[in-house]
Amino acid sequence: MACPLPEPIRMTSIDLESLEDVDDIPEAIAFRVNLSCQPREIWRQEFDAAYHRMRNPIKPMIVVEEQTLWVAFLPRYVDVLQDYFNFLGRVVATANAEEARTLEIHYREGRHEPRDRFREDLKRVRMPD
């Protein structure tokens, strides 16, 4: 079940029993981070966009799966593990903020007004030569 609105999603714990090998990356160990509730699709998209856009020295493969984050981590980077979790916290906060902003626009203005405004914005776009 998806998170109730407008509850932001939080990382709640690390599933220490979920450690597993990663077929595509033999030296990696995957683990799961539990989330406070199951994210909606828009949150998943915002999370993925923020994860790829925001800067961090390491970015292991990560997938939002139901109510968890599945992370394939290389143990040789254990010295920056806490920094990575701090980064994940910023990504989660960004996804929460972007989802809230999107939902606010849809609920406040109705579904057609943003589309109509965007249509006007598109009319001003010039195609490159």
Residue 108's pLDDT band (cuts 50, 70, 90): low
Residue 1's pLDDT band (cuts 50, 70, 90): low
Which of left, alpha, beta for 38 (phi over 0: left; psi -120 to 50: alpha)?
beta
Q: Is 3 within the bounds of a domain? A: no
Number of domains the chain contains: 1
Q: Is 1 within the bounds of a domain? A: no
- Residue-wise pLDDT for 68-99, tens only, equals 999 999 999 999 999 999 999 999 999 999 99
- DSSP code per residue over 103-127: HHHHHHHTTHHHHHHHHHHHHTPPP
Asked whether the beta carbons of 28 and 74 are under 8 A apart, the reply is: yes
Q: Is 97 within the bounds of a domain? A: yes
Q: Is 129 within the bounds of a domain? A: no
Which domain, by its residues, includes 48? 11-123
- Centroid of chain to Cα 53: 11
Q: Is 6 within the bounds of a domain? A: no
Structure tokens at 126: 């010039």
Q: Is 16 within the bounds of a domain? A: yes
Q: Is 4 within the bounds of a domain? A: no
Q: Is 71 within the bounds of a domain? A: yes
- Give residue 43's pLDDT: 95
Question: E strands of the chain, at which residues?
Answer: 11-21, 29-35, 61-65, 68-73
- Give residue 111's pLDDT: 57
